A and B are shown apart, each in its own frame.
Chain A
Amino acid sequence: MTESGGTPDLLPLTTAQRAIWASQSMHPEAPLHNQAFSFTIRGPVDLAAFRAAFEQLTDEADSLRTVIVVEDGVPFQRVEPTVEHTVEVIDCSQSADPARAAEEWCLQRYATPLDMQRRTFDSVLLRLAPDCYVWYFCQHHVATDATAVAVLYERMADLYAAIRDGSELPTSPLSQYSDYVTYERSVVAARDSSTRSESPTVAPALYGIKRQEVTPSNERFTLEIGAGRSEELRDLARTPGIQALTPDLTLFQLFSTAFFSYLHRISGQTAITIGAPVHNRPTADFKRSPGLFMEVYPLAVDVDDDDTFSSLYDKVRTAAANLMRTARPGGSSTDENRAVNAVLNYLTTRFGLFGGAQIEARWLHPGAVDAHHQLRMQVHDFTGTGSFTVDFDCSTDVFAAELRPKMLRHFERIFEAMIEHWDRPLAEIDLMNGADRAAVVGRINEPQATTAPSATVVEAFLKRVAEQPDAVAITHGEETWSYADVDRASRSLAAQVDSGSIVGVAMGRSPAAVLAMLGILRAGSAYLPIDPSWPDERIRFVVDDARCSLVVVDRPLDVGVPTVEFATHHDDQGFVDPEIVSSALAYVLYTSGSTGEPKGVMVEHGSLSNYVSWASDFYDRARRLTFPLFTPLTFDLTVTSIFVPLVSGGSIRVYGETSTKADVAVTDVFEEDAVDIVKLTPSHLALLPETMPGERRIGQLILGGEDLTVAAARRAQQQLGGQVLIHNEYGPTEATVGCVVHTYDPAADTAGSVPIGQPVAGMRAYVLDAAGHPVPFGVPGELHVAGPSLAQGYLGKPELTAIRFTAQPLVEEDRVYATGDLARSRPDGVLEYLGRRDDQIKIRGVRVELGEIEAAVGSHPGIAASTAQLASRTTAASTGELIHCVRCGLASNYPGVSFDGAGVCGECTALDEYRDRAQIYFKPEEQLATLLRSGRDAGGQYDCLALLSGGKDSTYVLCRLVDMGLRVLAFTLDNGYISEQAKANIRRVVDTLGVDHIFATTPAMNEIFVDSLQRHANVCNGCFKTIYTLSMQTARDEKIPFIVTGLSRGQFFETRLTKELFTQLSVDSEQIDTNVLEARKAYHRVDDAVRRLLDVSVFEDDSVFNEVRYVDFYRYVDVGLDELYSYLDERVPWVRPSDTGRSTNCLINDVGIYYHRKVRGYHNYALPYSWDVRMGHKTRAEALEELDDDIDVAEVARILDEIGFPGDISDFESGQQLVSYYVASAEIPTPVLREHVAARLPHQAVPTHFVRLDRIPLTANGKVDKAALPVPDEHQRSVATPYLAARTPTEDLLLGIWEQVLAVKGIGVRDNYFDLGGDSIMAIQIVARSDEAGLQFEVQELFESLTIERLGRIVDGSAPAATDPAGESSLPEISSDEIDALAAALQQLDGRRD
């Protein structure tokens, strides 16, 4: 398009063009966006006519004359009046293989990117034969899309035919792309940008590959669906119930269903979003335009494990409908585009005859695509043959060379299954053919050299006795047992035991326990370890369940069956070792399932011997190593530490149980360093001493029982001097201790979890889908194991045994144990553990492994150990029907409220008692003006600063101050959510009154809101602290001696005038003021978002509180509601707000109310309103009506998103939250951790809470004791201090009182008072109750100490009470991690409303 003056116009790029331009700019050297077609023309071509036709085409199609111009880094497009170009003709006909020569030429040609600034196309004719030509037509994607190519092709064919035939040129049907540029600009400008919210996207890890940084390098694989299959697909598409609006839409949905199924299977992910290009040509004119319209939109589907093709199709249909309704010209987003790693392009483009000749159209693959798109699938039928072609464009950086060709094969299996088995579950589709299957199974189970195991461990042990009778077999402290000693002693026990029975061993860890176990085995019986510290019921259950005939004990124990106390001097005369067959039972171990009663796993000698023999070869290697025995005998991990040394000729060093509640013998093992190799759990690693200098004897660690993260392995290796070998041994009890193993390789194992490796000698492992098919490398499935180490089954539970131990004909196994663990295999055959099936959690639609979260958190350098769990939110909500106080309306779900027989709440009853006495707090109105004038000497311009929210109360205050003749500065915080009506009110009021006014703002407001929600479950606390902080600064800067608040009388009672003050403590007005001031000082010391983000230098010391004082207007003035309103009506143009839905001026308020109700279970206005009612400022009916909110949840979600609240609304809708617990030497700020995790996991998987612990609680077996993790309720959430229980009687008493008053369970003595939700009124209650209990301290001492630990010291007199009036001596004591959320106090002290 040219202006009449001839100066070409610069036009902006369209949204789609900008996306292409940006992508190309990142890789200017790569032909990412060369859209090249080769049209093979089967007929002669008139060269002159062809050239003339193309020249005419460039005249007609503005997009061919378009170049990109960059000015100051901003791209524009310009349509040139003409373009210098003649179609080049290349003759390949002389080549031996013209077709191949032409193809090679094309390959070379399109490998170079087109220079958008010069010309956006390339058009060349290649002559293969007199009746065969190839038209190579390449355009930069910035100027074209597939439809545009078809438009240009069709016009080219028509022009060529007309010119060749000498007939009149047909009228050009082409419309101009520049029209669309203008159109898009206008519709985008007119569009309400809020109509479409970007959907969060998690790119699934395809084949488990998590590569982020990749180049555009790419390879294409092509699948010809074939005419027959294509027709079957169209038949399916015509089925009622499948048929959509148009045939193409149906086919698109069907291909999408297959693609989603494929992506789900190869990633294991359930929430999948792909990119779907939409041609975006809404009108007929645009359909004839030669430029770029195509935009990529997200298509998101939640796949469920039990989805069939049919049920998934229904989801796809809904998603496609949503996609089409949101797809609008200019509506795509570059960020959304980059967030998807898979794209499905269903092309409807067709190319007809060329000058009467048949053609073949090929879309050439430039060998590079946008690097974000790891996998692109194209479906097309360019020449309308009715047979579909599917292209898979695979990133060569992401997918290994041997995987790439298999990908399309896997897809093909799914595609065929879809056509043949519409109602089959996706989880059952076999992804591999026979050869692929054999390759995967074979690679995982690579044969290895093995030593044939002895029939029994007894036999192997006796061989050692004969070989090395004097060698040390067991030590315990100074005590030493040789092999001969062990032989003798175990014989003596064996002589007392019948063969063929199950004998309990209820003993602590000792040499005797080892001898007992060995003796029982020698007798031809099976041992059953029993922990003597188990509850009686459990012991009796196990003894009874296993039909134990006898229990060996080391102390008197009543177990319901005969016991024998172990004695080594027993006569073994006559004992002859019986022959023990490998199928004889060796031991029974009880495991507690997550549900139901414990079950006994029966392990036979052959299994035990197979494991021990392999472990001896693998770990000991004939070095006769010493193992520590320090884990419970009831744990199958311990089997290694007992039998491997005894059959290898090494020794056992016994570590008895420690006297602590949790058995931490592991620390003794590492401190003593008297063994060579240690078998332990990953959780044990956290108990290792920080540094262990010097040469270490411990040279190998065997980790088992839990997922081993790379971070934990790396840290352990560093702690142990870098040389230690770390083996990750995987195995359920049902497969005898360990059946898969991997030795940690720091160079190769760098992220996530250490692989579990490959099967041990004699064992086989399979990763199977839901139907028992082996799955390809990288695809998640359930881990199954087979081989001689499999247990016999569950004692007395044949049904359960039959369920877990099954035949798997597809892998030709008669007996396979389904582990319940998820795994995937790497192409090198190494298995990776993905977590328990039941540990998989779905949060916000995304499937995450807790182990992945643990690994991500644990990879932070400051973290020694971590665990994660999905916890239910606790709320204070009582169950049962709500009742409301008949007087004030307070609801029964308010924590701690009680009602008398008449339905009157405790607060109302109490107020009756002390209301009169509380009047001492109030002061005569006359004193107010006098007080506020008293600071005039200081020389400032104003007498006072009035906090003005714009509501009725603060407006009344301001007016009255002006009436009193005071010089007032009005101060309002604009938090970004003040309603327009309120702002208008404020402006009118200050104008009318003629007072100076400040609208304060801060860019940190949104962060403060987020912090406030997290600490206090409302937004007001953060807002109020911001107001106090900024107004204090202003007052100090302006030398204003007083800040006047509009707190109501109800608020005084609610937060300051507790009954204990008047009934028990009989304080005076000044003492109350002192309390309030102390609370205020402590409040500003809390390290919250306000303190972090605002300039708080004014609070560096407490001197500002001497310079600027708070005055509460309504302490002096008592005014009824009617009087207040009629005064306002006459005095100022103030109108009641109607645009916030309640008597508030703030639009974000609903977010706080909604959130508070969800997480705390009651309305945050319940108590304040009840006080309004008691004070007569509201009727009960008004209060109840206002509390019965109807909150717009979508608006809440929008605002949460807007302020950057981590997580989304479904988080607290579901009542579940993801919690990460970690051990670190120092507190790590939550935002730091959140960022660290967010860089490694989908944002949905970022924990809501991070809780620092002293140590991760462990079960007796050394695994994480999930049940013992503290429940992160909303109080404890910000209490990041390690839990410390009470240690002195004083602390114990205080703790009880705090828990009672604060209504929080599980308080630790270092928890911060304000973090626990404490406020000044609760402080008074605590002082009063402590006084009753005989503990004396002052309210301000509580505020200065803030923890039970320090308060306890003050009470006990072991630390001087910090009474320095400036607070200096007390400040350093309050460390930043302890003072956290204090705003609760002043939220209570001050108002939530105007």
Chain B
Amino acid sequence: MEHAIVRFVNEELLGGNGPRVTADDEIVLDGTVDSLGVTRLVDFIETEFKLAVPAQDVTIDNFRTITTMAAYVRTRQESAATT
């Protein structure tokens, strides 16, 4: 999952050339991805992992790094599976 998000950020958001991010880079706080970019990330996550990300979940805690994004997605998937 992390891999897919990393690839999306590097290929789609950052355009494939220049510096590449890793799963633990603080890509939002360091300005690599801006708020509009996060919105694209949310779109990507929704489509890729088939879940709806409500606006109140788009927080710095959930989107600080690609690792935290993946953790968020897993939590959502698990809670969906148990209900």
> How far does the alpha carbon of A327 sit from the alpha carbon of B40 in the complex, in Å?
10
Would B13 and A283 count as touching, CB distance under 8 A? yes
Contact with B along A230-252 (1 / 0, CB 8 A): 00000000000001111011000
A327 partner residues in chain B, CB cutoff 8 A = 36, 39
B31 partner residues in chain A, CB cutoff 8 A = 246
B15 partner residues in chain A, CB cutoff 8 A = 175, 283-286
Task: Knowing A243-B60, A245-B58, A322-B55 are in contact, say whether A283-B39 is a contact too (CB < 8 A).
Answer: no
Would B39 and A324 count as touching, CB distance under 8 A? yes
Would B34 and A246 count as touching, CB distance under 8 A? yes
Would B60 and A245 count as touching, CB distance under 8 A? yes
Closest B residue to A173 by beta carbon equals B18
B13, B28, B36: the one within 8 Å of A279 (CB):
B36
Would A325 and B39 count as touching, CB distance under 8 A? yes
Would B59 and A245 count as touching, CB distance under 8 A? yes
Whole-angstrom distance between the Cβ of B17 and the nearest chain A Cβ: 8
Whole-angstrom distance between the Cβ of B23 and the nearest chain A Cβ: 18
Would A245 and B13 count as touching, CB distance under 8 A? no
B40 partner residues in chain A, CB cutoff 8 A = 282
Would A324 and B36 count as touching, CB distance under 8 A? yes
> How far does the alpha carbon of A279 sit from the alpha carbon of B15 in the complex, in Å?
17
Is A1383 on the interface with B (CB-CB < 8 A)?
no
Would A282 and B37 count as touching, CB distance under 8 A? yes
Is A281 on the interface with B (CB-CB < 8 A)?
yes
Is B38 on the interface with A (CB-CB < 8 A)?
yes
B14, B38, B63: the one within 8 Å of A283 (CB):
B14
Is B73 on the interface with A (CB-CB < 8 A)?
no
Scan residues 48-83 of chain B and give those whose CB is less than 8 A from a CB of chain A: 55, 58-60, 63
A175 partner residues in chain B, CB cutoff 8 A = 15
A249, A284, A322: the one within 8 Å of B13 (CB):
A284
Is B25 on the interface with A (CB-CB < 8 A)?
no
Is B42 on the interface with A (CB-CB < 8 A)?
yes
B18, B29, B35, B36: the one within 8 Å of A280 (CB):
B36
Is A962 on the interface with B (CB-CB < 8 A)?
no
Is B24 on the interface with A (CB-CB < 8 A)?
no
Is A321 on the interface with B (CB-CB < 8 A)?
yes
Is A278 on the interface with B (CB-CB < 8 A)?
yes
B28 partner residues in chain A, CB cutoff 8 A = 245-246
> How far does the alpha carbon of A245 sit from the alpha carbon of B26 in the complex, in Å?
12
A324 partner residues in chain B, CB cutoff 8 A = 35-36, 39
Measured as residues with beta carbon below 8 angstroms from the partner, the interface class of chain B is 20 to 34
Is A186 on the interface with B (CB-CB < 8 A)?
no
Which of A175, A243, A280, A283 counts the most B-chain CB atoms under 10 A from its CB? A283
Is A1001 on the interface with B (CB-CB < 8 A)?
no
A284 partner residues in chain B, CB cutoff 8 A = 13-15, 18
> How far does the alpha carbon of A322 sit from the alpha carbon of B58 in the complex, in Å?
12
Would B36 and A282 count as touching, CB distance under 8 A? yes
B63 partner residues in chain A, CB cutoff 8 A = 245
Scan residues 274-311 of chain A and give those whose CB is less than 8 A from a CB of chain B: 278-286
> How far does the alpha carbon of A629 sit from the alpha carbon of B13 in the complex, in Å?
81
Is A318 on the interface with B (CB-CB < 8 A)?
yes
Scan residues 753-788 of chain A and give those whose CB is less than 8 A from a CB of chain B: none
Scan residues 252-278 of chain A and give those whose CB is less than 8 A from a CB of chain B: 278
B12, B35, B43: the one within 8 Å of A245 (CB):
B35
B13, B43, B58: the one within 8 Å of A321 (CB):
B58
Would B35 and A283 count as touching, CB distance under 8 A? no
Would A249 and B35 count as touching, CB distance under 8 A? yes
B36 partner residues in chain A, CB cutoff 8 A = 278-282, 324, 327
Whole-angstrom distance between the Cβ of A285 and the nearest chain B Cβ: 4
> How far does the alpha carbon of A243 sit from the alpha carbon of B29 in the complex, in Å?
12
Closest B residue to A175 by beta carbon equals B15
A243, A248, A285, A318: the one within 8 Å of B34 (CB):
A248
A244 partner residues in chain B, CB cutoff 8 A = 35, 60
Whole-angstrom distance between the Cβ of A293 and the nearest chain B Cβ: 10
A325 partner residues in chain B, CB cutoff 8 A = 39, 42-43, 55
> How far does the alpha carbon of A321 sit from the alpha carbon of B63 in the complex, in Å?
14
> How far does the alpha carbon of A286 sit from the alpha carbon of B42 in the complex, in Å?
19
Closest A residue to B35 by beta carbon equals A249
Closest A residue to B62 by beta carbon equals A245
A321 partner residues in chain B, CB cutoff 8 A = 55, 58
Whole-angstrom distance between the Cβ of B71 and the nearest chain A Cβ: 17
Whole-angstrom distance between the Cβ of A247 and the nearest chain B Cβ: 9
Closest B residue to A326 by beta carbon equals B39
> How far does the alpha carbon of A324 sit from the alpha carbon of B34 in the complex, in Å?
11
Closest B residue to A320 by beta carbon equals B35
B42 partner residues in chain A, CB cutoff 8 A = 325
> How far does the alpha carbon of A711 sit from the alpha carbon of B36 in the complex, in Å?
51
Contact with A along B3-30 (1 / 0, CB 8 A): 0000000001111001000000000110
> How far does the alpha carbon of A281 sit from the alpha carbon of B13 in the complex, in Å?
9
Would A282 and B13 count as touching, CB distance under 8 A? yes
Contact with B along A157-175 (1 / 0, CB 8 A): 0000000000000000001
B39 partner residues in chain A, CB cutoff 8 A = 324-325, 327
Which of A249, A322, A325 counts the most B-chain CB atoms under 10 A from its CB? A325
A282 partner residues in chain B, CB cutoff 8 A = 13, 36-37, 40
> How far does the alpha carbon of A321 sit from the alpha carbon of B54 in the complex, in Å?
10
Whole-angstrom distance between the Cβ of A311 and the nearest chain B Cβ: 16
Whole-angstrom distance between the Cβ of A584 and the nearest chain B Cβ: 66
A285 partner residues in chain B, CB cutoff 8 A = 15
B12, B14, B35, B58: the one within 8 Å of A248 (CB):
B35
> How far does the alpha carbon of A286 sit from the alpha carbon of B34 in the complex, in Å?
13
> How far does the alpha carbon of A1293 sit from the alpha carbon of B14 in the complex, in Å?
83
Closest B residue to A322 by beta carbon equals B55
> How far does the alpha carbon of A327 sit from the alpha carbon of B42 in the complex, in Å?
13
> How far does the alpha carbon of A321 sit from the alpha carbon of B13 in the complex, in Å?
19
B38 partner residues in chain A, CB cutoff 8 A = 245-246
Scan residues 677-735 of chain A and give those whose CB is less than 8 A from a CB of chain B: none
Closest A residue to B12 by beta carbon equals A283
Whole-angstrom distance between the Cβ of B25 and the nearest chain A Cβ: 14
> How far does the alpha carbon of A243 sit from the alpha carbon of B58 in the complex, in Å?
12
B29 partner residues in chain A, CB cutoff 8 A = 246
Closest A residue to B34 by beta carbon equals A246
Whole-angstrom distance between the Cβ of A1020 and the nearest chain B Cβ: 37
> How far does the alpha carbon of A325 sit from the alpha carbon of B14 in the complex, in Å?
19
B59 partner residues in chain A, CB cutoff 8 A = 245
Which of B12, B34, B43, B63 counts the most A-chain CB atoms under 10 A from its CB? B34
Whole-angstrom distance between the Cβ of B58 and the nearest chain A Cβ: 6
Which of A175, A244, A282 counts the most B-chain CB atoms under 10 A from its CB? A282
B60 partner residues in chain A, CB cutoff 8 A = 243-245
> How far does the alpha carbon of A165 sit from the alpha carbon of B63 in the complex, in Å?
43
Contact with B along A1090-1127 (1 / 0, CB 8 A): 00000000000000000000000000000000000000
B37 partner residues in chain A, CB cutoff 8 A = 282
> How far does the alpha carbon of A318 sit from the alpha carbon of B54 in the complex, in Å?
11
Would A246 and B35 count as touching, CB distance under 8 A? yes
> How far does the alpha carbon of A325 sit from the alpha carbon of B42 in the complex, in Å?
9
Closest B residue to A243 by beta carbon equals B60
Scan residues 530-553 of chain A and give those whose CB is less than 8 A from a CB of chain B: none
> How far does the alpha carbon of A283 sit from the alpha carbon of B18 in the complex, in Å?
12
Whole-angstrom distance between the Cβ of A915 and the nearest chain B Cβ: 54
> How far does the alpha carbon of A321 sit from the alpha carbon of B57 in the complex, in Å?
11
Closest A residue to B13 by beta carbon equals A283
Whole-angstrom distance between the Cβ of A620 and the nearest chain B Cβ: 67
A278, A281, A318: the one within 8 Å of B55 (CB):
A318
A318 partner residues in chain B, CB cutoff 8 A = 55
> How far does the alpha carbon of A283 sit from the alpha carbon of B37 in the complex, in Å?
7
A281 partner residues in chain B, CB cutoff 8 A = 36
Between A and B, 8 residue pairs with Cβ closer than 8 Å are A246-B29, A246-B34, A246-B38, A248-B35, A318-B55, A321-B55, A324-B36, A325-B55
Could you tell me which B residues sit within 8 Å of A by CB distance?
12-15, 18, 28-29, 31, 34-40, 42-43, 55, 58-60, 63
Please provide the 4 A-B residue pairs with the shortest distance between their CB atoms, ordered closest to farther: A285-B15, A321-B55, A284-B14, A249-B35
Task: Please name 8 further chain A to chain B contacts, defined as beta carbons within 8 Å, in addition to the given A245-B35, A279-B36, A284-B13, sorted by A numbering.
Answer: A245-B60, A246-B35, A283-B13, A283-B15, A284-B18, A318-B55, A324-B36, A324-B39
